[in-house]
Structure 1
Amino acid sequence: MKRYLSLAVAFLSISTAFAQTNYDVAKIADNLKKDAVAVIRNEDSFFDVKGPGAAKMDYKIAITILNKAGDDFAEMAEVYDKFSNIYNIKATLYDAAGKKIKDYKSSDIKDQSLISDFSIFEDNRLKLLKFVSISYPYTIEYSYSQDYNGLLYFPSWRDLKTFGISVEQSAYTIQKAKNYQMRYLTSSNLKTDSATIGEKVQYKWKSTNVPAIVHEPMSTGIDNISAWVKASPNQFEYDGSTGNFNNWKNFGSWLYTLNQGGNKLPDATKLMVQNLIKDAKTPKEKMRILYNHLQQNTRYVSVQLGIGGFRPILAEKVAQVNYGDCKALSNYMKALLNEAGIASNLIVIGNDMPSLNPNYSSMGQANHMILCVPLPKDTTFLECTSQHTPMGFIGYGNADRNVLIVTEDGGKIIHTPAYVAKENYQIRKTKIVLAEDGTASSEIRTTYGNAQFEENLSMTLMEPVEARKRIIESSKIPVAELINYKYAQADKTIPVLTEEINFKTNPILTKGGDKLFLVINQVNRKENVPLKVENRKTFFAVPFSYNDEDEINYTLPKGYTVEFIPKDITITSEFGSYTAKFSVKDNMIVYNRTQIMNDKKYPPEKYAEYVDFYKKIYQADKQKAILAKTL
């Protein structure tokens, strides 16, 4: 009797959620309308695991769009591939009172390829429906079923999707056989309800009445304020492959097995390798020669076809076609090094993602692959998809994080190098010759290192017309005429870029009576202060730590002298430090500015202190000198 009662309760809870159709906007609580452009009225996900390689998802969602700013959420965009199919789609549009306006037909739903801008081989497809209403608010509702033939991961869930959306109700249920092994992680304080129904076990998570969060500057995401679930199978079957994800060692073993036999090179390529390295004296020199060859002769193309989305293309195939995705190019470089007698390992990494969780192995934590070359005296990481970055520089999106190294003994978590502030530098020297009419001629020489090299590297690849436009638009000094510019990477082996810009300015001096006023920091000036946020909710950080050093030498207009110059300024905090020094030498003003910023992730309660710190820098950057006419 108890078994049937539990089954009835479970069925009733699912049916009740799916049956809600009272979408009158007047019934939305005021606190859910505050700061919201849309409200999730009801969301229900039911994921039924049939076995190691099969599952079914039943999904339904209703969203009320409160105003035009919420129109981007008025769509169904669901992805599938050859290992899944979406069917039984239903979609309805309601007015503000919850009255049905329209039921959409299957002919209204687009079924299109999801080939991305960087991919030419991809079997993902998209079921797309854009809801349109001529009045606000309105509510959209859609549901579908999706069958999975192959399970590498389970759908994840979170109640808050992004800033500006509140939630009336959202729930996620996973159903599995008693003896089926799986793992899950949840946000703190999220209750897991579990129930046994015959030979099945259900896990359910739900969230109700969650207010919207206003977008917060510098936010690192909403994980700390949203309810979320991440789940993963242990044993799995996918596209003829089987494996176990219960730890990173087994995860790595599966990836290693996928690539067995994939490192073979054609005889012609082997001969080419030997010819390239015949005069090289050290493993590092051989690696540099082969990495240069990779950059000059291959290009990046994404491949997302079935297991090919996880297994690298054969090295011999890359040798023939000269292109591949991150896995293929990393594997090809591994094969080239192997021919040169240098061992290396593939690295699974989350580019611009959080570090891999060392205690929870699963798909979805990584999106990229690079290569690791452990030499006796040091270890070099190689980014194999870039044709321009120096050997060993992997970019700040790959730096300072946990990654998975794939070895013959399985996977192991290691950490990539960190680029500290002093390495992510911008060192700039500027000469400005002032004229009495307020205009000036300017010469700027800048050197960028590491992360700031990466941020500015695109200038070397830009068409001249676009580059000139970018320079003029981004200049803090008003440009009257751009005379010339030059970007150069003198040494291709290190991540250092130089920039030279010469131009004539519009007036930068302002006149008051017989005085001239000069804002001394004309080059690297903070133009605004981050917005204050009352009761901030999310953590924050700068993208990367950095060190900016500026020196500006002003030659005074003829017939003028310095009447006033500010005193030196020093600002320090846990977020970074700032110094500004002012001096006068002969007919010149010399200004030196240094700003160092830390990339630590800070809790929300620190944000007000950060704003105060930044405000002090903003004010210091506005300091003025006063010039007076000589007698």
Structure 2
Amino acid sequence: MQKRNPRPLFSAAVLAVAGAMACTPCLRAAEKLVLYGGHAKEATRFQFDNGKFVAPDQAAIDRQDVKEWWISGKQENAQAAAAVAPSGPAPAAADEIQTLTEYRRQGEEMAARLPGCRGVYILDDGTFMLTHDHRHVYRYHFVGLVLNESLVEWGSLKLGFSEGHSRQKILCARSLGPDGQVHVLAPQDIQVSQPQRGDVYFDPDARMMSGTIPGVGVGSVVEYIYEYEQYAPEDWRLFFPGYYFQMDLPLVRSVLTVQVPIGTPLYSWEENWNGYRPAKRPMPVLGALLRWIIPQRSPAKKSCVEVEGKWYDSRTWEKTQVPPIVTEPQMPPNDEVAPAVHASLFKTWDYLNDLTGKLQVERMKVTPEIEAKVAEICAGCTTTEEKVARLYHWVQKNIRYISVKSSLSSGWAGHPATETLAQGYGDCTDKSMLFSTLLRCIGVESDPVVLRTNDEGEFIPKFPVLACNHCITEVQLNGKSMFLDCTSQDHRYPALRSDDHGVICYNFIRDQRPIIPVPPGMLAYGKATAEQMTVTADGNLRVTTANRYSGDYEYRLRAGWKRVPEKARHQILQQFVNGIAPGARLGDFSITDPQDLNVQFKLDFTYDLPSYLIQAKDLRLFQVPDREEEFPEISLDARRYPVIYPTAEATEREIALELPQEFRIVEMPPNVNIRSRHVTYSETWTATGNRVTLRIAFERRSRRIPVADYPEYRRTLQQITAATRRPLYLEATPTAAPAK
């Protein structure tokens, strides 16, 4: 199944004119047909029959190519053109019923092998075509069997397109009910609207088409076919077919076809075609040379096909009887593990580097306005790094995230830096372009880089394909390369958003594709805590804790507390300490101003845990609050997929425990020092009299745990879990109060 299908539909004019007339031949004294793309055809009379406009001495024109039909200087009213049957039950030819019935048989046969499945993808068939006149065409044919109410939504089509840039034809939209009745979606029941402008994304040319296939319920077969056409791409070479062949439901048949004019180079490759295999990072030069020298066998079937009198090289990939993806805790996204095919017209990055790099450089002009703003922002700074931090925080807080895109240049390279500065808003690309320009004013080399965030799965293209969804900034400072992401408003310099960690990024200006490193745990997602704990003679516990955060841990707390009114903070913290132990009572607390990015976020508070000690015959058990660790990601004995985390993680905790004279220490937990390839954990217990000191350190250095490392990793986390559950054993003197 294609990822991020371009599923826009045809415009309102086509629906109103051609769609409404599809069923009935008619004759009108017409003057002009306005076609998509701005062209017009004129004739004394146009006849509409069998879905085409026909005039003497002119080639027939498909109804879906017509935007407007003008008659005697006036636009034809669609409803007056022909009477159209409404959506609902419709007579169907015997062969159509036979086809739908066969689809049902295939779906039910697949479902019988997987009891309890919510539905079945019976047919998932997509075709990408680059035409001889450089149009991009995509046709998609879907058939599915609904077995659960949650999939009735298959009958609701909500598809977008871009007015003036693309169009679409709905070729079929129907359902077959359990009673054998065929229901058809009529063209006049499809609505086209302009999406409401959101707070973040806005495209003035965006349109949304919606329609509901009637009769869809549990037991229905749903079928639709549509054809999307980008008839005027700004650069026809940017043709990047991509398709995925496995989903969360069973699939009977999935097909991808890619067609290009004969002689047009097409470079394609498969991922996970014979089962999941982790993507390989870029190889050294020798390995790369061997990859090109040694031919790779492809499962694609190649042929030459004729379409509308033109010949095309065609490649087809097919999979049948595909089971659903079986999920595992913290596994990679489906896009990373499913069988997939990707294709490109490029063998090297030269063209994309030249195209995008030039657009970016043109938009990063340093102007007097930009120089004046940099001087204002950096006033009082004494070091270059201080200036970088000041500019970083300024862009974060003062350039609002709003995406307004209407062209290839603004989409790929952003708006000019001067424009973003003047407007005070922009998306990730715009903010990165502006930030890079500001940094160049202070003599710091910096470039925008694009990437695919790690929550979308690891994707390492073998040929140039732009499957990116984000843009950040690469900065050269003190002889080292670092990355900063102005999109986040709550990351304190030099912290980088965790979904940027560990991915390949693309620097088109320098023709480089570096891998963004995963920071050490304390910088990536860190917490350092100092705690004073005091046990009273009657077994109560008072805890005073001072917490310091870094990386994404700091970001999450800062962003969260920004939204909490000051008068509600006590209630939120009270709920938190109740989660540590029921009956906990919150005392004093203090929180760093979450709006101030110049200081580390700190959270200090005191709480009481009444009757905290546990009595076991003559002993009292003390378990350090919030110490026990659980790792649900290791619940499986074996895994098919790696364990995935947002980033690395580390915590450090130093606890000073004061015991009353009424208790003496019987046994302390043993010191622990657990080390493995991906994680380390240590506990150090010391006691002087009735004062106990505990130091805990945990660090997971890796973001991805490969399947081959899972057994060792699982044993390590199990050891950590066991260590954190060992209590401190105390013995009460005869004068000590009984514990609950």
**Pairwise TM-score range, normalised by the shorter structure:** 0.7 to 0.9
TM-superposed deviation, 1:545: 1.8
Hey, what does 2:122 align to over in structure 1? 41
| Alignment-mate amino acid for residue 728 of structure 2 | A
Q: Distance in 2 between matches of 1:156 and 1:66?
A: 28
Hey, what does 1:367 align to over in structure 2? 469
Q: Deviations over 1:13-37 (max 9, x none)?
A: xx99x95542147732357525633
Size of the alignment, in residue pairs?
598
Is 1:317 the counterpart of 2:382 in the alignment?
no
TM-superposed deviation, 1:248: 2.5
Could you tell me which runs of 5 or more consecutive residues in structure 2 were left unpaired when the two chains were aligned.
Answer: 1-94, 275-297, 735-740
Q: Distance in 2 between matches of 1:35 and 1:473?
A: 39
Q: Distance in 2 between matches of 1:77 and 1:323?
A: 29
CA contact (8 A) 2:110 2:120 kept: no
CA contact (8 A) 2:672 2:682 kept: yes
Q: Distance in 2 between matches of 1:393 and 1:203?
A: 45
Q: Which of 551, 554, 557 lines up with 2:654 in the alignment? A: 551
Hey, what does 1:9 align to over in structure 2? none
Hey, what does 2:589 align to over in structure 1? 485
Q: Distance in 2 between matches of 1:600 and 1:289?
A: 30
Q: Distance in 1 between matches of 2:338 and 2:355?
A: 33
* Structure showing the higher strand proportion among its residues: 1
Hey, what does 1:11 align to over in structure 2? none
CA contact (8 A) 1:355 1:403 kept: no
Q: Deviations over 1:568-612 (max 9, x none)?
A: 334333331222333433223433322221325334455455444
Hey, what does 1:629 align to over in structure 2? 732
- Partner SS, residue 141 of structure 2: strand
TM-superposed deviation, 1:173: 0.7
Hey, what does 1:397 align to over in structure 2? 499
TM-superposed deviation, 1:216: 0.6
Against the structure 1 CA distance between its residues 213 and 498, is the aligned structure 2 distance closer, same or farther, given a 3 Å change threshold?
same
Is 1:414 the counterpart of 2:517 in the alignment?
no
Runs of at least 4 residues of structure 1 off by over 6 A? Answer: 130-135, 489-495
Hey, what does 1:167 align to over in structure 2? 251
CA contact (8 A) 2:447 2:475 kept: yes
The normalised TM-score by structure 2 is 0.72
CA contact (8 A) 1:430 1:442 kept: yes
- Partner SS, residue 302 of structure 2: strand
TM-superposed deviation, 1:140: 2.6
| Alignment-mate amino acid for residue 192 of structure 1 | A
| Alignment-mate amino acid for residue 502 of structure 1 | T
Q: Deviations over 1:217-273 (max 9, x none)?
A: 010134565221112334xxxxxxxxxxx4323212111232454234664443343
- Greater displacement, 544-553 / 374-383: 374-383
- After superposition, residues 104-123 of structure 1 pair within 5 angstroms as 104-106=185-187, 109=190, 111=192, 113=195, 118-121=200-203, 123=205
TM-superposed deviation, 1:69: 5.5
- After superposition, residues 379-528 of structure 1 pair within 5 angstroms as 379-407=481-509, 411-424=511-524, 425-435=526-536, 438-463=539-564, 464=566, 467-468=569-570, 470-475=572-577, 476-478=579-581, 480-488=584-592, 496-505=600-609, 507-513=611-617, 515-520=619-624, 522-527=625-630
Hey, what does 1:184 align to over in structure 2? 268
Hey, what does 1:195 align to over in structure 2? 303
Could you tell me which runs of 5 or more consecutive residues in structure 1 were left unpaired when the two chains were aligned.
Answer: 1-14, 235-245
- Partner SS, residue 601 of structure 2: strand
Q: Distance in 2 between matches of 1:72 and 1:303?
A: 30
Q: Distance in 2 between matches of 1:591 and 1:25?
A: 63
CA contact (8 A) 2:651 2:698 kept: yes
CA contact (8 A) 2:184 2:214 kept: no
Identity of matched residues, %: 18
Q: Distance in 2 between matches of 1:474 and 1:620?
A: 24
| Alignment-mate amino acid for residue 260 of structure 2 | K
- Greater displacement, 217-226 / 133-142: 133-142
- After superposition, residues 323-362 of structure 1 pair within 5 angstroms as 323-352=425-454, 353=456, 357=460, 359-362=462-465
The normalised TM-score by structure 1 is 0.83
Against the structure 1 CA distance between its residues 565 and 282, is the aligned structure 2 distance closer, same or farther, given a 3 Å change threshold?
closer
| Alignment-mate amino acid for residue 586 of structure 1 | G
| Alignment-mate amino acid for residue 245 of structure 2 | D
Q: Distance in 2 between matches of 1:61 and 1:26?
A: 13
Hey, what does 1:228 align to over in structure 2? 340
| Alignment-mate amino acid for residue 485 of structure 1 | F
Against the structure 1 CA distance between its residues 379 and 303, is the aligned structure 2 distance closer, same or farther, given a 3 Å change threshold?
same
Is 1:156 the counterpart of 2:259 in the alignment?
no
CA contact (8 A) 2:664 2:732 kept: yes
TM-superposed deviation, 1:483: 2.5
| Alignment-mate amino acid for residue 503 of structure 2 | R
- Greater displacement, 453-462 / 275-284: 275-284
Against the structure 1 CA distance between its residues 35 and 625, is the aligned structure 2 distance closer, same or farther, given a 3 Å change threshold?
farther
CA contact (8 A) 1:207 1:227 kept: no
Against the structure 1 CA distance between its residues 415 and 213, is the aligned structure 2 distance closer, same or farther, given a 3 Å change threshold?
closer
TM-superposed deviation, 1:291: 3.4
Against the structure 1 CA distance between its residues 344 and 614, is the aligned structure 2 distance closer, same or farther, given a 3 Å change threshold?
closer
| Alignment-mate amino acid for residue 170 of structure 2 | N
CA contact (8 A) 1:194 1:203 kept: yes
TM-superposed deviation, 1:61: 1.0
Q: Distance in 1 between matches of 2:505 and 2:714?
A: 33
Against the structure 1 CA distance between its residues 453 and 360, is the aligned structure 2 distance closer, same or farther, given a 3 Å change threshold?
farther
Is 1:142 the counterpart of 2:244 in the alignment?
no
| Alignment-mate amino acid for residue 540 of structure 1 | V
Q: Which of 156, 172, 175 lines up with 1:90 in the alignment? A: 172
